[in-house]
């Protein structure tokens, strides 16, 4: 088991670029594989989650060439995937498993999806239930709640589905199924979740409409291969944004970060806490907004966080907790129940870890109250096998009273394999 310890530093300074967006990288492989012609992907995230998606499509007969810079996907068209000869291993990746379930349900073959011990504990009925309403034949442990999932591909019919959770994975699974289902598939959600699928479906020429009522996908149109440039992942940038805010004497420029409005909740939250964050050189790349982000150390204050911004910052809560621990006063998080069903229960994990470094945290069913301290104490904590918990606690160590040691940090490679090397380049000792 790999452990890593971070000592307090004198500043976070310089210029960095973070690796490609995880959500967009997954989708580029999926849509490229079921399009006609070649798709090229530059800036693809080579994290373990995305490699799981890449291997899944190779196992279904798609030729994907990787020269280390650009991926070249020889698209097979909507009906060109072939039956995988073994279980598809989604590793730790909820996105791979849920989106693949939607894509595989309407194929003319049998497939099985599984994953690691964490993924096999996560809820899957949220995608199985609407897909079964569309006519899918799907099985899972615990009455369809948990992986391994068995998928007996067959013809589907479009439905109109109001999702009870704001989840881009549920929405995207149904959109992918909708490419094959007879008629139209309509999906609405309580708040708009990340809309990378909508943007990429349009980019590949799918028959799609978006608006206040949600998204509508119509089947019958082949997709066309495209050239995609993946922007930097704002969820990875978030660790360095918080690091630069909480370490006095910091100034950090993060270049080429995706700033899709469905993902910028972290910027809104940190700005409301008093953080100095500027977006520079805003532009558009492959249908996604991109900017450089300039962050300077700031005195943060506690705020209340609830409502739609929670969806727009869902993966950033572990590191938001670290910002809150370093802020003056109390930060109140509510309506964030979804955090309990991620790679681990992120409310419980962060409460445990922050308490271990001297921060008072009260858990509620759908959130937590965090009382900021002058300085987080030194201590030893666990990753709970969750990449974002590991990186968040390492960031906490940068401005703590002493060393923070985190155990089981291999999981960082799930989404951000270059985290440690980037940290070395910006930490002023």
Ligand X SMILES: O=C(O)C1=C[C@@H](OP(=O)(O)O)[C@@H](O)[C@H](O)C1
Do the Cβ atoms of 13 and 406 come closer than 8 Å?
no
Reduced to 3 states (helix: H, G, I; strand: E, B; else coil), residue 111 is strand
| Stretch 47-66 residues interacting with ligand PEP (CB under 6 A) | 49
Q: Does 300 bind ligand X (CB under 6 A)?
A: no
Reduced to 3 states (helix: H, G, I; strand: E, B; else coil), residue 135 is coil
| Stretch 69-128 residues interacting with ligand X (CB under 6 A) | 94-95
Please, which residue, 111 or 169, has the CB nearer to ligand PEP?
169
Helix 168-178 to helix 22-33 angle (10° resolution) is: 10
Q: Does 39 bind ligand PEP (CB under 6 A)?
A: no
**Using CB under 6 A, which of 136, 322, 342, 418 touches ligand PEP?**
342
Strands 360-364 and 207-211: unpaired
Which residues line the annotated binding site? 22-23, 27, 94, 122, 167, 169, 315, 342, 346, 388
Q: Which two tokens stand for residue 186?
A: 């309509």
- Determine the Cα angle at 104 with ends 100 and 110, to 5°: 125
- Catalytic residue list contains 315: yes
From 88-96, 124-132, 185-193, 326-334, span contacting ligand PEP (CB under 6 A): 88-96
| Nearest distance in Å: CB 77, ligand X | 24
Do the Cβ atoms of 363 and 351 come closer than 8 Å?
yes
From 163-171, 259-267, 281-289, 419-427, span contacting ligand X (CB under 6 A): 163-171
| Stretch 370-389 residues interacting with ligand PEP (CB under 6 A) | 388
Q: Does 194 bind ligand PEP (CB under 6 A)?
A: no
Please, which residue, 9 or 413, has the CB nearer to ligand PEP?
413
| Nearest distance in Å: CB 2, ligand X | 23
Please, which residue, 98 or 203, has the CB nearer to ligand PEP?
98
Q: Does 315 bind ligand X (CB under 6 A)?
A: yes
Q: How many Cα neighbours within 13 Å face the side chain of 320?
A: 35
HEC states along 21-84? CHHHHHHHHHHHHCEEEEEEEECCCCCHHHHHHHHHHHHCCCCEEECCCEEEEEEECCCCCCCC
Q: How far apart are CA 221 and CA 229, in angstroms?
A: 24
Q: Does 107 bind ligand PEP (CB under 6 A)?
A: no
**Using CB under 6 A, which of 39, 219, 415, 418 touches ligand PEP?**
415
**Using CB under 6 A, which of 96, 172, 260, 418 touches ligand X?**
172
Strand partners, 404: 6, 379
Catalytic residue among 89, 116, 195, 315: 315
| Stretch 18-47 residues interacting with ligand X (CB under 6 A) | 23
State the DSSP string of 272-332: HTT-EEEEEEEEEETTEEEEEEEEE----B--EE-THHHHTTGGGHHHHHHHHHTSBSEEE
| Nearest distance in Å: CB 108, ligand X | 26
- Tell me, by CB under 6 A, how many residues bind ligand X: 12
Please, which residue, 167 or 409, has the CB nearer to ligand X?
167
Sign of CA dihedral 59, 64, 66, 67: positive
- Determine the Cα angle at 426 with ends 420 and 428, to 5°: 115
From 1-9, 87-95, 224-232, 295-303, span contacting ligand PEP (CB under 6 A): 87-95
Indicate which residues carry an active-site annotation.
315
């Amino acid at each position: 088991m790999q452990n890593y310890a971070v000592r307090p530093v004198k500043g976070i300074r310089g210029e960095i670029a973070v690796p490609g967006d995880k959500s967009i990288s997954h989708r580029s492989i999926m849509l490229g594989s079921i399009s006609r012609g070649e798709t090229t992907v530059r800036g693809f995230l080579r994290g373990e989650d995305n490699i799981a998606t890449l291997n899944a499509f190779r196992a279904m007969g798609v030729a994907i060439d990787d020269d280390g810079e650009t991926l070249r996907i020889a698209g097979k068209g909507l009906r060109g995937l072939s039956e995988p000869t073994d279980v598809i291993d989604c590793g730790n990746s909820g996105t791979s498993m849920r989106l693949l379930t939607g894509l595989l349900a309407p194929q003319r073959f049998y497939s099985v999806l599984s994953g690691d011990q964490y993924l096999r504990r996560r809820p899957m009925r949220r995608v199985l239930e609407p897909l079964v309403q569309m006519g899918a034949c799907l099985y899972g442990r615990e009455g369809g709640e948990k992986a391994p999932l068995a998928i007996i591909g067959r013809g589907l019919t479009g439905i109109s589905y109001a999702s009870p959770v704001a989840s881009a994975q549920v929405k995207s699974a149904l959109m992918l199924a909708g490419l094959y289902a007879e008629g139209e598939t309509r999906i609405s959600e309580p708040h708009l979740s990340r809309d990378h699928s909508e943007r990429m479906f349009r980019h590949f020429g799918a028959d799609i409409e978006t608006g206040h009522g949600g998204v509508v996908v119509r089947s019958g149109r082949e997709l066309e291969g495209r050239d995609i440039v993946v922007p930097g992942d704002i969820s990875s940038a978030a660790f360095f944004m918080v690091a630069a805010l909480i370490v006095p004497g910091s100034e950090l420029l993060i270049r080429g970060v995706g700033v899709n409005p469905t993902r910028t909740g972290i910027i809104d939250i940190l700005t409301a806490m008093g953080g100095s964050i500027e977006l520079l050189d805003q532009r558009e790349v492959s249908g996604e907004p991109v900017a450089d982000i300039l962050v300077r150390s700031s005195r943060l204050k506690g705020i209340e966080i609830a409502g739609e911004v929670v969806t727009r910052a869902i993966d950033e809560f572990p590191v938001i907790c670290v910002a809150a621990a370093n802020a003056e006063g109390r930060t109140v998080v509510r309506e964030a129940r979804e955090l309990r069903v991620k790679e681990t229960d992120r409310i419980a994990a962060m409460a445990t870890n922050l308490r271990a470094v001297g921060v008072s945290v009260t858990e509620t069913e759908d959130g937590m109250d965090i009382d900021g301290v002058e300085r987080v104490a030194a201590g030893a904590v666990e990753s709970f096998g969750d990449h974002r918990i590991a990186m968040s606690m390492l960031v906490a160590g940068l401005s703590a009273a002493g060393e923070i040691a985190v155990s089981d940090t291999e999981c960082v490679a799930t989404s951000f394999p270059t985290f440690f090397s980037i940290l070395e380049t910006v930490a002023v000792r």
